[in-house]
Amino acid sequence: MAKRIVVVACRKLRQQNLCPGDAKCLVAMMRKEGEFERYKGEDATIVGIADCGECPGTRVPASLGLLKMQLAALKETADVIHVGTCITLMCAYKDDVVNLIKEKAGVEVVEGTHKYVMPKVFP
């Protein structure tokens, strides 16, 4: 059975179109690069992309809850949550966001997605 993956991305970067279409995460998954390398030789797919819910990330459980409802309607689930590189490298609230996801997720949480260059948008 395929490993089902959800990615949690930074809402600010997504809204500002600094990561159009979540392309880096999707391509890294397709190529099994970065933190997705762990799935080499394994059937794995991204079933959804949620965002952090805005700074300071306290609404990430609601964002994940909505995605979980959508997946349930499609008779799908998530096995793993990857916290996007946009959060793990650039977010001032990274530790809080990651800990909140780990506390609420009920599945494995992996920090990071790709290893591609990130835009410099925050001082």
Side chain identity at 80, as an amino acid letter? V
Pair of tokens at residue 106:
């009920």
- Per-10-residue mean pLDDT for the chain, 123 residues long? 94 80 91 97 96 93 95 97 94 95 95 82 54
Instruction: Say which residues have a Cβ less than 8 Å from residue 52's Cβ, sequence separation at least 6.
Output: 8, 9, 10, 11, 59, 60, 63, 87, 91, 97
Range list of H helices, the chain: 11-15, 23-31, 60-73, 85-90, 94-105
- The domain segmentation of the chain, as residue ranges, is 8-111
